[in-house]
Amino acid sequence: MTRIYGHFIHNASPQPSSWIERISPAHGTVVAKFAEGQDSDVDAAVRAARAAFDTGPWPHMDAERRASVLERVAALVADNLERLARIEVEEVGKPIRFARHDMQTVVALFKYAAGLAMQLHGLAYSTIGAKRTGIVLREPVGVVGLIIPWNFPAETLAKKLPFALAAGCTCVVKPSELTSGTALELASLAAQADMPPGVINVVTGYGDVVGSALSGHPGVDMLSFTGSTRVGRHVIARAGEHIARSAVELGGKGATIVFRDADVEAAVDGALASVFFNQGECCVAGSRLLVQRDIADRFVEKLVGKANALRVGDPFAETTDLGAMIHRQQLDRVLGHVDAARREGAKQLCGEVMLSCESLFMKPVIFDHVQPSMGIFSEEIFGPVLSVTRFDSPQEALALANQTDYALANSVWTSDLDTALEFTKRLRSGIVWINTALDGALQLPFGGNRSSGFGRELGEAGIEEFTTLKSVLIHTGKRQPLFAP
Q: Which residues are catalytic?
A: 249, 283
> What whole-number distance in Å separates Cα of residue 189 and Cα of residue 314?
29
SS3 82: helix
Directed axis angle between helix 417-426 and helix 394-401, to 10°? 30
DSSP letter at 350 equals E
**DSSP characters over 283-312:** TT---EEEEEHHHHHHHHHHHHHHHHHS-B
SS3 200: strand
425 CB-near residues (< 8 Å, 6+ apart): none
Q: How far apart are the first and last CA of the chain?
A: 83
> What whole-number distance in Å separates Cα of residue 384 and Cα of residue 248?
24
**DSSP characters over 27-54:** T-SEEEEEE---HHHHHHHHHHHHHHHH
- Locate the DSSP E strands across 52-113: none
> What whole-number distance in Å separates Cα of residue 341 and Cα of residue 373?
11
| Residue 335 neighbours by CB distance under 10 Å | 17
Measure Cα distances from 398 to 47, 144, 175, 376, 416 in Å: 49, 38, 37, 18, 15
> What whole-number distance in Å separates Cα of residue 183 and Cα of residue 171?
12
3-state secondary structure 229-241: HHHHHHHHHHHHH
Radius of gyration of the chain (CA): 24
> What whole-number distance in Å separates Cα of residue 312 and Cα of residue 321?
6
Q: Is 478 exposed, middle or buried (0-12, 13-18, 19+ CB in 10 A)?
A: exposed
> What whole-number distance in Å separates Cα of residue 98 and Cα of residue 80?
16
> What whole-number distance in Å separates Cα of residue 327 and Cα of residue 333?
10
> What whole-number distance in Å separates Cα of residue 176 and Cα of residue 183?
9
SS3 246: strand
> What whole-number distance in Å separates Cα of residue 446 and Cα of residue 458?
6
Single-letter residue type at 42: V
